[in-house]
Amino acid sequence: MSPSNAQTARRLPDEEFELKETALHGHRIAYRSAGSGPAIVLVHGITSTSATWERVMPYLATRFTVIAPDLLGHGESAKPRGDYSLGAYASGVRDLMVSLGHERATFVGHSLGGGVVMQLAYQFPERCERLVLVDSGGLGREVNFLLRAATLPLSEVVLPVLASARLLDAGRGVGRLFGRLGLHVGTDMAELAKGHASLADAESRAAFVHTLRTIVDPGGQRVNASDRLYLAQNVPFMIVWGERDPIIPVQHGRAAHELVPTSRLEVFENAGHFPHVDDPQRFLDVLLDFIDSTAPATVDPEAWRDMVKSGR
């Protein structure tokens, strides 16, 4: 990326974002963090890692403390037999940021990560200054057939075949090819190939299946947070979506925007499921403008209680 906008022209060196490790509740958690200032937490999607944010992290870190974890069961973090629910992930992200000395943050979640940060904002509203969903899960039933198929009973048998060395090498090759061509549609192919390659070992496959089955079944997404989106009306809330997303349809973002009239919707016309990778400059521009034009949320416990009681 060659930023044209002066506000994003500065960046920290890539080496500032090398993986770090900590232990939470006896499990290894890998994360990337750099910069100073108000905290911004970036949460990746399923089979992805903190590296998905590599095109935007160095620029954000010139103004913010950026924290990007590898969620449990992903990347270099531990992959135990355990709880891979959205609630557990939300608690884990909260625990990581608090362990690093941050009480509050702007939360940005992509795909599965969108579901995680919505759950975090619901469980711990006092921690959430702003909420940004990027092609988020948890906003409707529809989801790509491949994810639905991976929840079927025989998926544990099929995945080792799909993750064989020969197919993984082919997947990496396809991803590199599309990346070299610079095709927008190729971004989805390249990122999905990386995710496919991450399932090479049994622990990763088990974590993937356990995570997926908490949020997806053969009929589609099981979790739908739309009935609680009214709680976001007092939090600065932005929805970013790639119009060509083949994984989760852009209609989910538009419907969520209608449910929260105070929200901001940004649709990237030429992007797919990874708009922060397809068009990192525009992503930075809209994210920084959103942050600059909004004040951090503060939670009034009585007002929160009244909203929950009234359901609106």
Kindly write down the DSSP assignment for every residue of the chain, as one continuous string. Answer: ----SGGG-----GGGG--EEEEETTEEEEEEEE--SSEEEEE--TT--GGGGTTTHHHHTTTSEEEEE--TTSTTS---SS--SHHHHHHHHHHHHHHTT-S-EEEEEETHHHHHHHHHHHH-GGGEEEEEEES-SSS-S---HHHHHTTSTTHHHHHHHHT-HHHHHHHHHHHHHHHHHT-HHHHHHHHHHHHHHTT-SHHHHHHHHHHHHHHEETTEES--GGGGGGGGGGS-EEEEEETT-SSS-THHHHHHHHH-TT-EEEEETT--S-HHHH-HHHHHHHHHHHHHTSPPP---HHHHHHHHHHT-
Report the CATH superfamily, name and number, of domain 6-143+223-310: Alpha/Beta hydrolase fold, catalytic domain (3.40.50.1820)
Angle at 144 between CA 138 and CA 145, to 5 degrees: 125
Q: What is the pLDDT of residue 135?
A: 98
Which positions are catalytic?
Answer: 111, 245, 273
Which of 290, 306, 302, 301 is CA-nearest to residue 125?
301
**Residue spans per domain, the chain:** 6-143+223-310
pLDDT tens, residue order, the chain (312 aa): 444 454 455 788 777 789 999 999 999 999 999 999 999 999 999 999 999 999 999 999 999 999 999 999 999 999 998 899 999 999 999 999 999 999 999 999 999 999 999 999 999 999 999 999 999 999 999 998 878 888 877 565 555 544 444 444 544 444 454 444 333 446 777 787 777 777 778 888 889 888 999 999 999 999 899 888 887 878 999 999 999 998 999 999 999 999 999 999 999 999 999 999 999 999 999 999 999 999 999 887 787 778 787 776
> How far apart (Å, rounded) are the C-alpha atoms in residues 226 and 103?
26
β-strand partners of 266: 240
Q: What is the pLDDT of residue 154?
A: 58
Chain-centroid distance of CA 219 in Å reads 22
Structure token pair of residue 34:
């750099």
Q: What are the CA-CA distances from residue 282 to residues 3, 26, 141 (Å)?
A: 9, 39, 28
